[in-house]
Amino acid sequence: MTSFGHSFDTGPAGREGDRPVLTLRQALAGALILVVLTAVVTLAVSDRVEGFWLRLFPQSVALTDAEKQQLLDELVRSPNFDRFLTVFQLVRNQYVDPLPVDQLLEGATRGVVEATGDPFSAYFDPQEFREFQIDVSGHYSGIGVVVSEGKDGGVVVQTPFEGSPGATTPFEGAGPDDPVGLRPGDVIISVDGQDVTGESVEAVARRIRGPEGTQVTLEVLREGYDKPLKFVLTRRNIDVPSVQAHMLDGKIGYIHLTQFLPDTPDDFDAALDELRRQGMQGLILDLRNNPGGELQAVVRIADRLLPRGPIVHIEYRHRGRETHSSDAGALGLPLAVLVNQGSASASEILAGAIQDYGVGVLVGEHTFGKGTVQTVWPLDGKGRAGLGRRGEEGAGVKLTVARYLTPKERPIVMGKGIEPDVHVPFDLENLEGMGDLRRDPQLRAAYQRVEQMVAGGA
């Protein structure tokens, strides 16, 4: 299988808005919400990717002094604000250990975002935001595996990257007949001797990552083994491949998109050109376990596959509807698209558009169901919006800002997603065979459909 690489550039920073003149009482309120207020002062200026679909707008929007004053007045008038001040003072004066004001403000800031009740909106402290930026860059130092939440809880190995430490390191005591490396479906139970069975995917990933050349010890549970398996792995720099491609029998091309990064469209074009050069007569596009990514990336790829018309409609609270469209020039080959419950956001945009236009058949299971768009506002070390000066430790805020619809204006319902045209289940226990035509029932079904279309069948 051929992997196509990508690069990642850091965008320029925003600028700070002017500070308002406040009364003493308003200053008390302002001190408590300073980080939250300034999170909306300036928008950053470049598109990025996240585990789900993320977007940053390319213009600056400053909060005026009058708007700040109005917001502070609303806070001061709210009866809940007096309650907040009372709780704040009680914690400061009565809690068993003294706590710094900055720590309390950090918690209050996080609480404002959590009050939305939206699982895709979040406040990141500086450490969390550093990890977030690693996630969106596709470059990090670690062991080279994708982890996800298991269907019964816990953190499981989803995909080891070919040639990575996670894929090439045997477990301690392995015999000659034991498979080498971590395997899809392995359940991670400890990292460096620390029990992680109750931790989130993000927390476990942070434990596993670290400086290049250092070691990390994992214990995993694997089906067919009575005891946990212990892996001692040496971290190295990892470039996450977003496009993998090869030719199957019968001149049917296979392209696996792991996520939508800024360079994914160029890598997709390169893969498509190489498969065409080899005489490709049909294509299978694998979007399984693809959590999404950059708006412009999925739009550019959809433009390669769809006829002229809308690709996606985005509906904002204040800006109304924005439509991204394709020009003339579709793929023009039989096409099947593999999807499952790990196909989210930008993956659902592409799958939904292909289904709406009828230019391909969707095979697998229903998609994740995430019909929303997020924006991230980076904050510098003082809580101002912007990427911060070089070397500063900044926090960040991620908020859901819009919903999207397919070309035929179908909404993507949370938890329901998009239903495939051909339903084929794939159990977690069989993940090791994913991508193998002999062992992957979904891939085999897609292959048979494309093969029929190439032959002129139904």
| Positions marked active-site | 345, 356, 370
Q: Which residues of 40-64 are buried (b: 16+ CB within 10 A; e: fewer)?
A: bbbbbbebbbbbbbbbbeeeeebbe
Give the pairing of strands 396-405 and 122-124.
Answer: antiparallel
Q: Which residues of 368-391 are buried (b: 16+ CB within 10 A; e: fewer)?
A: bbbbbbbbbbbbbeebbbbbbeee
Residues 6 or more apart from 377 whose CB is under 8 A from it? 39, 40, 42, 43, 44, 385, 396, 397, 398, 399
- Written as one letter, the residue type at 376 is V
Q: Are 42 and 17 in contact (CB under 8 A)?
A: yes
Q: What is the C-alpha to C-alpha distance for residues 161 and 1, in angstroms, rounded to an integer?
A: 12
Nearest alpha-carbon partner for 124 in 19, 54, 29, 196:
54
- Written as one letter, the residue type at 379 is L
Q: What is the C-alpha to C-alpha distance for residues 355 and 296, in angstroms, rounded to an integer?
A: 20
Q: State the CB neighbour count (10 A cutoff) for residue 342.
A: 17
What burial class does residue 345 get, using C-beta atoms within 10 Å of its C-beta: 0-12 exposed, 13-18 middle, 19+ buried? buried
- Going through 269-367 in order, the beta strands assigned E by DSSP cover 282-286, 309-316, 320-326, 335-339, 361-364
- Distance, CA of 331 to chain centre: 27
Q: What is the C-alpha to C-alpha distance for residues 212 and 26, in angstroms, rounded to an integer?
A: 48
Give the pairing of strands 361-364 and 422-423.
Answer: parallel
**Which strand (E) or helix (H) includes residue 141?**
strand 139-142
Q: In what order do the strands lie in the sheet with 335-339?
A: 2-4, 243-248, 252-257, 282-286, 335-339, 361-364, 422-423
